[in-house]
Amino acid sequence: MYTAKARNIHGESTNFCQLKVLPKKQPPPTPPKPSARPVRAPSIQTSLATSTWEEGDTAILQIYAQGEPRPQVEWRFNEQPIYTTESIKTEEKEDGWNRLIISPVTPAHTGVYTAVAVNEAGESRTSATLQVVPSTTAKTSTHEDMLQEDVFERIGRPTERTEEVVRRESMQYSETTSLPRELETTKTATEKRWVEQIDEVFERASQRSAEQREVETAETYVKVGTQLTVHAQ
């Protein structure tokens, strides 16, 4: 409360007033500034390792990379960038695992593979050699096919020639020589026995080497020719 008085020779006057002081309005509190996000260079915890795969398998190369912000992983083959195709895939997981998947793998995929983890703070890399060996199944199948063709080439054709020669010689002897009935019967039985012997040789041919089959076939030809000459005389 404030009082004001005015006075002179004629008298005085008094006045009163009350003064109120209101608190000043405070501005809203300023939110705290976010702290700067920590930055860490990439670190590869699980590195690549040299591995060997068989042709036709599914080859998997993987690493575990950490960093802030999360690093991006680039894959390279003999220091050249790898691009995804139907047979080459890449996987990137949020937990830090990154994989390179090759399926099916072939000998052409043999080489040095490199994984490079990169972020704004730097990079980290790891390399390893991937080796691909030819499939033993494919080699065995190819060898069997070639062996079968070799059997037909070396045995099938001589067989046809032998039967043709025997047939021609039999026709020649029938036309030029009048054989006794008993000798003709013996000759027929002998020819039958020759055919059986030749069939037996061919039956065993698939279980023996090509060299053995050639020797047996040649010996049979000689034996057939000798016996045929004896009977002709």
Domains of the chain in sequence order: 40-134 (2.60.40.10), 137-232 (no CATH)
- CA dist., res. 153 & res. 162, Å (int): 14
Q: What is the mean pLDDT of residues 71-82?
A: 95
Q: What is the mean pLDDT of residues 113-139?
A: 90
* Band (53; pLDDT cuts 50, 70, 90): very high
Residue 118: exposed, middle, or buried by beta-carbon count in 10 A (0-12, 13-18, 19+)?
Answer: middle
Question: What pLDDT was estimated at residue 182?
Answer: 47
Q: What is the mean pLDDT of residues 19-48?
A: 81
Tokens standing for residue 214: 């050639």
Q: What is the mean pLDDT of residues 98-117?
A: 95
- CA dist., res. 86 & res. 102, Å (int): 9
- Centre a 10 Å sphere on the Cβ of residue 196 and count the other Cβ atoms it contains: 10
- CA dist., res. 125 & res. 121, Å (int): 14
Contacts of 191 (CB under 8 A, 6+ apart): 166, 170
Please list, residue by residue across 9-42, b when 16 or more beta carbons sit within 10 angstroms of its beta carbon and e when fewer do.
eeeeeeeeeeeeeeeeeeeeeeeeeeeeeeeebb
For 68, 176, 224, the CA distances from 194, given in Å and listed in that order, are 87, 22, 7
Mean pLDDT of the chain: 76
Question: What pLDDT was estimated at residue 153?
Answer: 45
Q: What is the mean pLDDT of residues 132-156?
A: 56
* Band (32; pLDDT cuts 50, 70, 90): confident
Question: What pLDDT was estimated at residue 177?
Answer: 46
Q: What is the mean pLDDT of residues 193-201?
A: 69
pLDDT tops 80 at residue 208? no
- Centre a 10 Å sphere on the Cβ of residue 110 and count the other Cβ atoms it contains: 15
Residues 184-192: contacts with CB under 8 Å, at least 24 apart: 186/231, 187/231, 190/227, 190/231, 191/166
β-pair partners for 49: none
More reliable by pLDDT, 102 or 135: 102
Question: What pLDDT was estimated at residue 38?
Answer: 84
Tokens standing for residue 75: 């894959």
Q: What is the mean pLDDT of residues 144-158?
A: 46
Q: What does the pLDDT look like over 158-178, one tens digit per residue? A: 444 455 555 665 665 454 444
